[in-house]
Amino acid sequence: MSESGFPYVGARRVTRSRFLTLERGYYRTPDGGWMVRELIRHPGCVVVIPWDGRTIRMIRQFRAAAGTTLLELPAGKLDVPGEPPEVTARREAIEEIGMRPGRLRLLHRTFLSPGFTDEVCHIYLAEDLEPVAVDPQGAEERHAEIVTMTLEEVTAELGRGSIIDAKTLIGCYALLGAREP
């Protein structure tokens, strides 16, 4: 029996897209029954908290699935096979906000929606930022706005509930928790 009490029996792939796979997973339950779940297999993502000791750089961009523009920390999929999350984080900071991190520190790893996907998000604190040319990688990024905010302004936005992107919320609270008093 597995540690969870729900031994994995196997899966059948339903469909595959450019980077997602939908499968039907089969499990035994602790009472001897069966359980079937639809699962989205995702390569994972990174979030970058560009912090210069006083301000954070974020991006305001349209998100088709949400149908609106969101204020977010720079982020991206682990969509380059074999690329370590730290390398992806550096690349995303350059692409989205034109900043090359001199130092990256993993603050947190989290599942964003474990009820249906195995996507793991790696949240990095990026410091010693060097300005470089922005390198947008799609229509949303080309039309995005880079926003620089103090920690007090970010905290106020969190209090107002105006930051509604989960990975950004987790990243902001991870930064607040990681700061030295």
Report pLDDT for 1.
41
Confidence of residue 5 (pLDDT cuts 50, 70, 90): confident
The Cβ-side half-sphere exposure at 160, using a 13 Å CA radius, reads 8
> Is 180 a residue whose pLDDT tops 70?
no
CATH code of the domain occupying 45-178: 3.90.79.10
Sheet of 75-77, strand order: 75-77, 45-50, 120-131, 99-111
Range 132-144 average pLDDT: 87
Report pLDDT for 165.
95
Cβ pair 76, 61 in contact under 8 A = no
152 carries an active-site annotation:
no
Name the active-site residue from 23, 95, 140, 157.
Answer: 140
Confidence of residue 3 (pLDDT cuts 50, 70, 90): confident
Domain boundaries, given as residue ranges, for the chain: 8-41, 45-178
pLDDT (tens digit per residue) in 46-70: 999 999 999 999 999 999 999 999 9
